[in-house]
Amino acid sequence: MTTATAEPVAERVATGLESFADVARRLGGISPDRIIWLPRPATEEDCVHHCERHGPAELIDGFLVEKAMGYRESLLTVALIRFLANFILPRKLGLVGGPDAIMRLRGGQLRLPDVSFVTWERLIATDAHNKKVAPLAPDLAAEVLSESNTRAEIEQKRREFFKAGTKLIWVIDRAARTAEVYADPKRPDDMTLLREGDTLDGGSVVPGFALPLADLFADIEPPAPAAPDTN
């Protein structure tokens, strides 16, 4: 992720020193259509306002960027939230957030992971569960890939989460029916690829949680046709 502060990046666009194409490349090669233009660096208040009135957007380097998610990806996200919540909530381990949960990372970046988990210990310490913007990174962050996501965009987001304190990251690919698991913040590129026959587990972050990927993907498949009535 670029180390430039938000103000110079946005001001350079406003003064014509940097084009939207340049900024789109900075943000991971995303489509410029996802960048929400303001004639000044966007603020946290701008991000919250947009999320409340228009839909999820992240604050990255002084720009509002619409989250990429389609209906298909939303269905898989809800399925993953349900599996996690069914394990986490009865055990009072913490809370599970959805794709509109705003989280403040280092440098004032606001990120909205598709799925997040934060322990009660950290939530209570920051009173995050009573705020519009959680002043922390999740313990677990999961991203469900959409067609308009780029690999560079997801890589930048992953590195930001790890630097801000996230311990475990899952990247779910609905089309490939795989999950990439990143479990070492000190080695953010180390990845274990799980396929449909493998099991996704919570490691030391959500001990005891295990989800066969086949079950996750089957959760959004249509039911099998009913057997014909032979009577």
- Residue 179's region, left for phi above 0, alpha for psi from -120 to 50, else beta, is beta
Task: Give the pLDDT confidence score for residue 4 in this predicted structure.
Answer: 37
Q: Is residue 231 part of a domain?
A: no
Task: Give the pLDDT confidence score for residue 2 in this predicted structure.
Answer: 33
Q: Are residues 130 and 160 in the same domain?
A: yes
Task: Give the pLDDT confidence score for residue 5 in this predicted structure.
Answer: 39
Please, are residues 102 and 64 in contact by the beta-carbon 8 Å criterion? no
Q: Are residues 151 and 104 in the same domain?
A: yes
- Cβ contacts of residue 152 below 8 Å, gap of 6+? 28, 29
Q: Are residues 48 and 77 in the same domain?
A: no
Q: Are residues 54 and 132 in the same domain?
A: no
Q: Are residues 10 and 27 in the same domain?
A: yes
Average pLDDT by stretches of 10, the chain with 231 residues = 41 59 89 90 96 95 91 95 98 97 95 98 97 97 94 95 97 96 95 97 98 96 80 67
CA dist 77 and 115 (Å) reads 7
Task: Give the pLDDT confidence score for residue 60 in this predicted structure.
Answer: 95
Q: What is the pTM of this model?
A: 0.88
Count of domains observed in the chain: 2
Phi then psi dihedrals of residue 40, to 5 deg = -165, 170
Please, are residues 115 and 99 in contact by the beta-carbon 8 Å criterion? yes
Neighbours of 55 (CB within 10 A): 12
* Cross-strand partners of 224: none
What is the 3-class SS of 95-144, one letter each residue?
Answer: EEECCCCEEECHHHCEECCCEEEEEHHHHHHHCHHHCCEECCCCCEEEEE
Query: What is the domain range of residue 118?
Result: 71-218
Among candidates 211, 220, 219, 223, which has minimal Cα distance to 181?
Answer: 211
